[in-house]
Amino acid sequence: MLELQSIKRHFGALKVIDGLDLTVERGEVLGILGPNGAGKSTLFNLISGNLPPTSGRIFFEGKPLNAARPWTRVRSGIGRSFQIPKPFVHLTVFENILVSAAHGAGLSLKHAKAEAAQAMDLAALSSRADTLAGDLSLLDLKRLELAKALATRPRLLLLDEIAGGLTDSECGELLDIISSVHGKGVTVVWIEHVVHALMRVATRLAVIAEGGLITTGPPREVLEDRRVHELYLGAVE
């Protein structure tokens, strides 16, 4: 569904992504792990078009993405959440999601309202529809980020540390929503430091560090990989 070929993103002499090859298969939940500064959020910015690659090629469903603007990528089926929620704080929950449906998915107002209501219900936010986004708890802000992304009608959903800062019970609620979204046929790529959250839903893990792919495979195998242990815990004699 998604293919990155020899992707590089350099900021002057700083090589944040440096020759990364990665594929995402339709229907999977790919969890991405890596230490701080590994280039995970930069990777999402490259896929969503917020940053251009220094070199390399990106394909979505077989079509080249390099020249596509961010809004074109959204309308082609790529939705994303952001690590730090930035809603329109003076708009209600429903109005925030409606903006995504109308401008992200490019729907008419009538269809955007229906899509926003569906996304809001899926994210378990219907009871907060008329609440100003600036008055939401962290959990509800995370849900709003997810609902805004879902309102763009993604076939590929990019989640950037959406479980960060949540309690175990709150994280469990969010995982139930993500599992439901995946069950509806949406392919998910999820950056997360909360490893136990990824283990509940991920069908495959990929670990990146120093701008490249360290390993990828079934979650248990990846977590038992010596290179991953060394990356997080240091070399083991």
What does each of the 237 residues of the chain score in pLDDT, given as a tens digit?
999 999 999 999 999 999 999 999 999 999 999 888 888 999 999 999 999 999 999 999 999 999 999 999 999 999 999 988 989 999 999 999 999 999 999 999 999 999 999 999 999 999 999 999 999 999 899 999 999 999 999 999 999 988 888 888 888 888 999 999 999 999 999 998 888 888 889 999 999 998 899 999 999 999 899 888 887 755 544
Tell me, what's the pLDDT at 195? 86
Cα atoms found within 13 Å of the Cα of residue 89, Cβ hemisphere only: 6
Is residue 208 within 8 A of residue 194, CB to CB? The reply is no
CATH number of the CATH domain containing 141:
3.40.50.300
Q: How far is CA 200 from CA 48, 107, 219, in A?
A: 25, 34, 10
Q: Write down the pTM of the prediction.
A: 0.91
Please count the structural domains in the chain. 1
Tokens 């997080």 correspond to: 232
163: left (phi over 0), alpha (psi -120 to 50) or beta: alpha
Tokens 């802000």 correspond to: 141
Query: What whole-number distance in Å separates Cα of residue 20 and Cα of residue 234?
Result: 23
Using DSSP, state whether 21 is helix, strand or coil: strand
Q: How many CB atoms lie within 10 A of CB 193?
A: 14
Range of the domain at 181: 2-233
Tell me, what's the pLDDT at 180? 92
Tell me, what's the pLDDT at 236? 46
Query: What whole-number distance in Å separates Cα of residue 163 and Cα of residue 141?
Result: 11
Tell me, what's the pLDDT at 233? 58
Greatest distance between any 2 Cα atoms in the chain: 63
